[in-house]
Amino acid sequence: MPILHAMQETFGYVPQDAIPLIADAMNLSRAEVHGVFTFYHDFRHEPAGRHIVKVCVAEACQAAGARDTSPKFEKALDCAFGETRPDGQVTLEPIYCLGLCACGPSAMVDGRLVGLIDDEAIAEIAAEVRS
């Protein structure tokens, strides 16, 4: 896994063409490397946007209103979950638990945790990632 992390840190994602090279270098099968690569959601298959917004969709946040905030994020950011805007400005991703269950719904914006997400917070986040 360290080589996958290093590639992602260097390039912002792990190019698909790198999988066979990693497998050969590590004396592993391509299937083994591909299995690790696809199992962990933090490994990217393509470059992310300049800003990354992750919205918690786990049960505690769902119970606290994430079902309502998720579509609002998509509208405010003009981006669907699992997508990067065409201008490359933002990537919107679902995440399954940020550990802020008591402060749900929650999100992570460029690595910064944000709890108690409401309409005002969504508007602030949208303005932040557009600047």
Find out whether 79 is annotated in a ligand binding site: no
Residue 101 is assigned to a ligand binding site = yes
> In angstroms, rounded to a whole number, what is the distance separating the alpha carbons of residues 61 and 89?
26
Q: Is 97 annotated as a binding residue?
A: yes
How far is residue 10 from each of residues 7, 13, 14, 119, measured CA to CA in Å? 5, 8, 9, 35
103 labelled ligand-binding: no
Q: How many C-beta neighbours within 10 Å does residue 5 have?
A: 13
The annotated binding site for [2Fe-2S] cluster is made up of: 56, 61, 97, 101
The annotated binding site is made up of: 56, 61, 97, 101
